[in-house]
Chains A and B, each alone.
Chain A
């Protein structure tokens, strides 16, 4: 499964110089840290070592930090997150970090159910949520969280009023409707076949009537129950005085069903109960897939829950700390934040100095040093601490909350470009409707007895194939193909917008570049070789957790590194220690060099008591595939831009390496959004790619937005497309497939038009007998579906050896 010699048995990270060994399930395993060892031993103690066999992904690095979860017992906090189910049972929804694969689900369920008093556990791997119920008198929430923490997962209760219940109800109802429509379509088709295939000469009026009414029986639940969302949607948009897509759909369903009912009543012409069922079934299939994609992508509530910590440590008058829920925090409170902790609210630093990582909030890649009195932003991570801060703004007043509301605004003003396709079909349907009316009128003048049959034939011959299938079949197929490439399309309209994009705006930090730094260049003095300098520096650096130190340590293999003793790290400056008998310093030049001396001061300096030995220059690492992606997108004729919150020098460096000439640096989220508006004013259709919280507004406002799955949840929540694989290259493939899809949709619509131009006049003139109308409809539907199945075919066989997907082919 993995090379046990180099990687941690538990989390799969590279092993440090000092390996920790533990005997798990009778075998000696190497582990990277005490946290991982504790988790692995704990898992063994629970008798759950099967986890290591079941999992498909290594676990998250277990945190040694075992904060007490006792605060969750407090009533004020519990009220917000727990639901009382009566008879002493409590329920909560936990958001669990580090759920990577189904193995985790298995482990979490076993571990919690082994706890006496836990009644039920349901884990959803994709949503990273668990619903837990327990008996209040036997176990508390804090023990549940404790147990999860020991197993290596950090969990956080979600607000009890979370959207989850709504979502669950929605997905259950959609599934029921889909299945009723599917069964109905099958049965109606069978009864209709009996009518089509009967011997025309041996007509038995009673048998015919029987089959017509049978069709009515199975079609009725489909129309009245399954198709209800279409009627509800049509009503809603009519009330808002708009002609949404649901209006023609609902009209067509109602007309075909109503007309067939009248025909069945009169015992005359042909009934189309089978067509109406199939029509509803296909539409619901598309909507069901769309809903599942949307649910997987997470929502704003989740995102906010993860941005700010649930607790804060407030300092009381007597300087003692008390743990309170974040919603109890008020402006003016003095709050204590530990090293590695999340800043709970916007405020001012009261301690001397600290460094914070604001990468997710502002896009700045390097940690920022803050001095006493300078502002701290909620949601950023404190790198060194602990510090005290004074709260200035809480809740909705924080910068992060401001960004969230900006997202909501931008989303509401999103251009409705993608709706153009739907409007086209809507126009088409309106034309069909008017043609039906004209036919009915015409025949009522010539021969009133045939008016109804002919009008109905026009409606059936044209409607289902042309407009019900042309778009959904292509979109459904495209969604499936893209999902296999690791591209989750949250809003299906995004496909059209993706195909039509003219400009791409990239965020830099975390999107084009890796979140970690890499060593770019080493300059040495004449006293030392490059290799020795690097080894000495790495020996010191691996004792520190600073991102710069990590980058230096990563540049050198761990094997045979000299040991560093007496290592002291000074926050914000560097580390010093004794390596091979020499006292060495590694860090900023003002720290490493005791006396000012002439030395290129940029970068990290390694020095001994005699002066500087080497300078290490670090740069950001391009994400793998970034170059190829950029080149491919440019080759497809797109204009490329970078909009970053980072410093100009860093942005310029990355832009130069990728050959992007249009870049802007140090942009606030509002600046980004402004740039976007300017671009759109020029007529550009903008595709935005980002991952941070600071990208969320531009993502929400762009014509089509792509977020990386590794990024902030709020970025994903405001995007149309999520790249689950984190390979930027998938974007190129996605764009190609989107264009292909659009082409297929146009072909389908053109084919439908051609077919209608031939079939509809014939039907209107009364030349089309019912069996031919049904045959024509089926043939035309099959053509459209077959065409849709071509999407991504060459691509998928080329990209990956996967089974061809032909699930939709058998439907008609």
Chain B
């Protein structure tokens, strides 16, 4: 049973960290718009507009 005494507090700590990280993300605008950021990976940026690797998806 001693293992439980280590793993459970560890689990609770991880839980607290996860919730904390999530709160941080929410407070930093990460969840305000869940529809539009889906396109961000497709954005090559204005500088990196390579004509040869044209189709990132499709």
Q: What is A's interface to B at a CB cutoff of 8 Å?
A: 47-48, 50, 54, 102-103, 105-106, 110, 114, 122-126, 168, 171-172, 175-176, 179-180, 183, 187, 204, 207, 210, 214, 217-218
Closest to A180 in B: B19
Task: Say yes or no: is B10 at the interface (Cβ < 8 Å to chain A).
Answer: no
**B49 engages A176 (CB within 8 Å):** no
**A124 engages B36 (CB within 8 Å):** yes
Q: Which of B4, B11, B36 contacts A102 (CB 8 A)?
A: B36
Q: Which of A103, A123, A171, A179 contacts B22 (CB 8 A)?
A: A179
CA distance A263 to B19 in the complex (A): 28
**A126 engages B35 (CB within 8 Å):** yes
Closest to B34 in A: A292
CA distance A183 to B21 in the complex (A): 13
Which chain A positions have C-beta within 8 A of B46?
A: 47-48, 110, 114
Q: A54-B39, A175-B31 are in contact. Are A183 and B1 (CB under 8 A)?
A: no
Which chain A positions have C-beta within 8 A of B43?
A: 50, 106, 110
Going nearest first, the 5 A-B pairs with the smallest beta carbon separation are A105-B36, A102-B39, A124-B33, A172-B26, A106-B39
**Chain A nearest Cβ from B55, distance in angstroms:** 8
Task: Say yes or no: is B53 at the interface (Cβ < 8 Å to chain A).
Answer: no
Which chain A positions have C-beta within 8 A of B33?
A: 122-124
Task: Say yes or no: is B52 at the interface (Cβ < 8 Å to chain A).
Answer: no
**A125 engages B36 (CB within 8 Å):** yes
CA distance A382 to B49 in the complex (A): 44
Which chain B positions have C-beta within 8 A of A218?
A: 12, 15
Closest to B38 in A: A102
Q: A47-B49, A110-B46, A183-B18 are in contact. Are A122 and B32 (CB under 8 A)?
A: yes
Q: For the complex, would chain A's binding face be called helix, strand, loop or mixed by DSSP majority?
A: helix
Task: Say yes or no: is B6 at the interface (Cβ < 8 Å to chain A).
Answer: no
Which chain A positions have C-beta within 8 A of B31?
A: 172, 175
CA distance A204 to B4 in the complex (A): 14
Closest to A190 in B: B11
**A176 engages B26 (CB within 8 Å):** yes
Closest to B5 in A: A210
CA distance A172 to B33 in the complex (A): 11
Please report the number of residue pairs spanning A and B whose Cβ atoms sit closer than 8 angstroms: 62
A-B contact pairs, 10 of them (CB 8 A): A102-B35, A106-B43, A122-B29, A122-B33, A171-B32, A175-B31, A179-B19, A204-B1, A210-B4, A214-B8
**Chain B nearest Cβ from A801, distance in angstroms:** 21
Task: Say yes or no: is B42 at the interface (Cβ < 8 Å to chain A).
Answer: yes
**A105 engages B27 (CB within 8 Å):** no
Q: What is B's interface to A at a CB cutoff of 8 Å?
A: 1, 4, 8, 11-12, 15, 18-19, 22-23, 26-27, 29, 31-33, 35-36, 38-39, 42-44, 46, 49
* Most chain A beta carbons < 10 A, residue from B1, B35, B43: B35
CA distance A103 to B46 in the complex (A): 15
Known contacts A48-B46, A110-B46, A207-B1; 8 additional CB pairs below 8 A are A47-B46, A105-B39, A172-B26, A175-B31, A176-B26, A179-B22, A187-B12, A218-B15
Closest to B18 in A: A183
**Chain A nearest Cβ from B48, distance in angstroms:** 11
Which chain B positions have C-beta within 8 A of A180?
A: 19
**A183 engages B19 (CB within 8 Å):** yes
Q: A114-B46, A183-B15 are in contact. Are A176 and B23 (CB under 8 A)?
A: yes
CA distance A179 to B30 in the complex (A): 14
Q: Which of A50, A123, A176, A207 contacts B36 (CB 8 A)?
A: A123
**Chain B nearest Cβ from A110, distance in angstroms:** 7
**Chain A nearest Cβ from B52, distance in angstroms:** 14
**Chain A nearest Cβ from B16, distance in angstroms:** 10
Closest to A46 in B: B46
CA distance A176 to B31 in the complex (A): 10
Which chain A positions have C-beta within 8 A of B11?
A: 187
CA distance A348 to B20 in the complex (A): 61
Which chain A positions have C-beta within 8 A of B4?
A: 210
Which chain B positions have C-beta within 8 A of A48?
A: 46
CA distance A512 to B42 in the complex (A): 40
**A172 engages B22 (CB within 8 Å):** no
CA distance A373 to B43 in the complex (A): 56
Which chain B positions have C-beta within 8 A of A172?
A: 26-27, 31-32
CA distance A207 to B4 in the complex (A): 10
CA distance A168 to B34 in the complex (A): 13
Q: Which of A114, A168, A204 contacts B32 (CB 8 A)?
A: A168
Which chain B positions have C-beta within 8 A of A175?
A: 26, 31
**Chain B nearest Cβ from A1, distance in angstroms:** 11
CA distance A322 to B55 in the complex (A): 50
**Chain B nearest Cβ from A228, distance in angstroms:** 15
Closest to B43 in A: A106
**Chain A nearest Cβ from B34, distance in angstroms:** 9
**Chain A nearest Cβ from B41, distance in angstroms:** 11
Closest to A214 in B: B8
Which chain B positions have C-beta within 8 A of A103?
A: 39
Which chain B positions have C-beta within 8 A of A187?
A: 11-12, 15
**Chain A nearest Cβ from B44, distance in angstroms:** 7
Closest to A48 in B: B46
Which chain B positions have C-beta within 8 A of A179?
A: 19, 22
**A217 engages B36 (CB within 8 Å):** no
CA distance A180 to B8 in the complex (A): 18
**Chain B nearest Cβ from A181, distance in angstroms:** 11
Which chain B positions have C-beta within 8 A of A102?
A: 35-36, 38-39
**Chain A nearest Cβ from B35, distance in angstroms:** 6
Which chain B positions have C-beta within 8 A of A168?
A: 32
Which chain B positions have C-beta within 8 A of A122?
A: 29, 32-33
**B39 engages A217 (CB within 8 Å):** no
Which chain A positions have C-beta within 8 A of B22?
A: 176, 179
Which chain A positions have C-beta within 8 A of B29?
A: 122
Closest to B27 in A: A172
Which chain A positions have C-beta within 8 A of B39?
A: 54, 102-103, 105-106
CA distance A103 to B31 in the complex (A): 20
Which chain A positions have C-beta within 8 A of B32?
A: 122, 124, 168, 171-172
CA distance A175 to B24 in the complex (A): 12
CA distance A176 to B30 in the complex (A): 12
Closest to B55 in A: A53
Which chain A positions have C-beta within 8 A of B18?
A: 183
Closest to B36 in A: A105
* Most chain B beta carbons < 10 A, residue from A105, A123, A218: A105
Which chain A positions have C-beta within 8 A of B26?
A: 172, 175-176
CA distance A204 to B2 in the complex (A): 14
**Chain B nearest Cβ from A339, distance in angstroms:** 35
